[in-house]
Amino acid sequence: MAATPRLISAIHTGLLKFAGPPLALWLGGRVAYAWVTYNRTHEYAPPLSTAVVAISLLVFPLMAWRYARLKRVAKTDDALHVSNFRREVVVPLRDVDRVRQLPLSGNIVVVDLAQDTELGSRIIFVARDIYWSPTWWRTHPMVDRLRDAVAAAKKKGVEVA
């Protein structure tokens, strides 16, 4: 009997995936619009405000892109059940190439796959457990748990073969 998949991605993944990109793009557009209307007054704009606008026009589209690629992920003893909210694929843990966390990303976990699936060769999700570390070099505990599960699945696969 197969084990019931346990959700390891955040409950609010759907909200981030579908509401995050339009909100981020709207905020970026709002910043650009405010900048244009301010410059039409021919008043002096401090360099710091120019830098804030430039960074915003870079960051908000990147946020939208990252949020749009989020997946819902559940785990069993030997597989990941990955969904983009339209379709679901089952990825055996032995097919996982690497598990990592993006620098300064908080709870965002990236799983690189050895083989391409219907949903691509990279799974990006927000880990369910809330974790905050004051140091940027510490990884989320979910990353360590997934790494251990992948190593165990690969070891188990080698022993059977």
| Whether residue 88 has pLDDT greater than 90 | yes
Ranges of H-type helices in the chain: 13-39, 47-68, 141-160
Confidence of residue 56 (pLDDT cuts 50, 70, 90): confident
Mean pLDDT of the chain: 85
Q: Distance of alpha carbon 21 from its chain centroid, rounded?
A: 13
| Whether residue 127 has pLDDT greater than 60 | yes
CATH fold of 73-160 reads: PH-domain like (2.30.29)
Q: What pLDDT is attached to residue 133?
A: 58
- 48: alpha, beta or left, given left = phi > 0 and alpha = psi -120 to 50? alpha
Q: Which residue has the tokens 């990147």?
A: 62
Which token pair is 157?
Answer: 């696969």
| Whether residue 141 has pLDDT greater than 90 | no
Mean pLDDT of 12-36: 89
Ordered by start, the domain boundaries in the chain are 11-68, 73-160
pTM (2 d.p.) = 0.80
Q: What pLDDT is attached to residue 161?
A: 47
Q: What percent of the chain has a predicted confidence (pLDDT) above 70?
A: 90
Of 157, 139, 160, nearest to 77 by C-alpha is: 157
Q: What pLDDT is attached to residue 118?
A: 92
